[in-house]
Amino acid sequence: MNTGQTLITFGAFMLLSVIVLNLNRNLSNNDISLAQNRYRLEALSLLTSYIEQTSQYFFDEASTDTSSEKRLSDFAAPDQLGFDYNDNGEIDDFDDFNNYTIIDTGRSGVRYRISFQVDYVKLQGNQAVHSNSREYHKRMTIFVTDDYNDPVLYKWINGQKVRDTLKVSFVHSYWFYN
């Protein structure tokens, strides 16, 4: 084998090495992306299940008596949203979820931190805005993030991995039928 053939063979091996390294890097990036999508989808499923679960509760402690219509003054004051003195740590109405945080695990085994916030809202135009007084509408905001020091749910900002949080809000209203 002469010098030219040796150089061509050496160049072919170099080209093959570069192609294999790029292929491995691309496969690794795809695996990371697929895992990220799996964790986000799982977190979104948890969000959806908690929306369904929390919307089953009574609007307020006062509305558990369904025999008569309730006035705004019957409902919990905005600064009293959360567990009532007689709840004994048991959730029995919608606003008991205010400032409530739990850890839940998805099917993948990832621990997710789920936090709830509840506030009164009033309708202004076509938007629901925060209200400092009692209203017939309460908004719940649910936040889901992972519970790890090296985040599983993350996004890249300025070349750094930053924890990402999924958030959804929905409005629960009081209705009375006679």
pLDDT in tens, 63-120: 777 777 788 888 888 888 888 777 777 888 888 899 999 999 878 888 999 999 999 9
Mean pLDDT in residue range 37-58: 89
Per-residue model confidence (pLDDT) at position 121:
93
Q: Report the distance separating Cα 59 and Cα 94, nearest Å.
A: 5
Q: Report pLDDT for 1.
A: 66
Which residues make Cβ contacts (< 8 Å) with residue 55, sequence separation at least 6? 94, 170, 172
Question: Strand (E) positions, 18-150?
Answer: 101-105, 111-124, 127-130, 137-146
CB 164 within 8 A of CB 153: yes
Q: What is the mean pLDDT of residues 143-154?
A: 85
pTM to 2 decimals? 0.78
Q: Indicate if the pLDDT at residue 15 is higher than 80.
A: yes
Using pLDDT thresholds of 50, 70 and 90, give the confidence band for residue 126: confident
Average pLDDT over residues 124-148: 89
